[in-house]
Amino acid sequence: MAKTDGFRLKDMVAAPFTPFTADGEVNYNILDDYADYIVKTNFTGIFVNGTLGEGLSLTLLERKSLAEGWVRASRGRLQIIVHVGATCVRDSQELARHAEEIGATAIAGLSPSYYKPESEEILVETMSLIAGAAPNTPFYYYDINFFTGLYINIRKFMELAKARIPTLRGLKNSSREIPGSYDCTFVEECQVLVGTDVQYLSYLAHGISGVVVASYLGNLFDDMRRAYQTGDTAKALEHQNIAHKINNIRNKHGGGINVAKAMFKILTGLDAGPVRLPLRSLKADEFNAIRGDLVDAGLTDVSLPTDQ
């Protein structure tokens, strides 16, 4: 029996932004306050160096240092899931080994996406090398096909991978495809985590309660989950409608990580700085327009800790 058998992540996982200074360097000084905020808004874990965290725009040293920083800042209060996906398998292996060394709760990895695996079988072989570099740490496959351009039969992959990757515990699916995610729940001991902001209530209706979302949505999504699980579907729908309003404002202004990062500052009061090239940082008038829309919609308090 593998040491990871029976492991499951807790339901509420934040996808934090990587804080940058004005000149584009990683700002480690904010991590303590950021982790405190995440805890106070009912998250139980963080997904480090993922898409919202611009993980693939970071150097290996930065990714390692951030993983270490989040472990320290969490002070044992959060499960730490370190994303180790990269364009180079050996880089992913190095990140996986490091994550295990620093005591990460779990690791996750997307597929290399410049040179793509040509089949589910080759993807399994690739992921087995990455997961094998951290043999005592639970592994989750990260599927975000509209970014990677890798479109696979996800259930077939999970079934094949289960036989090859002893630490495989599940899937983080950000590919906006509910049927495929739901299909994976029929794979033995496969935990599915949803990675899309506007589909959570639909996933709850399919019995999928694990979620990885932007770090300004903790209270809202935790309230939605609790309402649904206690039978108050009307209240759960109210929370999902608020999430849609927030997402609609984000999409109105372009929908990118730069917009989401601006919304984080407006909604939480924490400044994670600009994005890093090749993403475009927003101009002051764009930031103010986003703020105006959130104020007009009455949404500026939805992300504050409940003790404020």
Report the distance separating Cα 269 and Cα 67, nearest Å.
Answer: 23
Which of 142, 203, 216, 228 is an active site residue?
142
74 to each of 158, 281, 299, how far by Cα in Å?
Answer: 31, 28, 27
Q: Could you confirm whether 142 is annotated as catalytic?
A: yes
Residue 290 near residue 280, CB atoms below 8 Å: no
Answer yes or no: is 212 a known binding residue: yes
First to last CA, the chain: 46
The per-residue b/e assignment along 93-122, b for 16 or more CB within 10 angstroms, e otherwise, is bbbbbbbbeeebbbbbbbbbbeebbeebee
Report the distance separating Cα 168 and Cα 39, nearest Å.
Answer: 27
Helix (H, G, I), strand (E, B) or coil at 303: coil
Which of 141, 172, 228, 261 is an active site residue?
172
Q: H/E element holding 121? A: helix 120-132
Specify binding-site residues: 212
So which residues are the catalytic ones? 142, 172
Which amino acids are annotated as binding site for pyruvate, given as ranges? 212
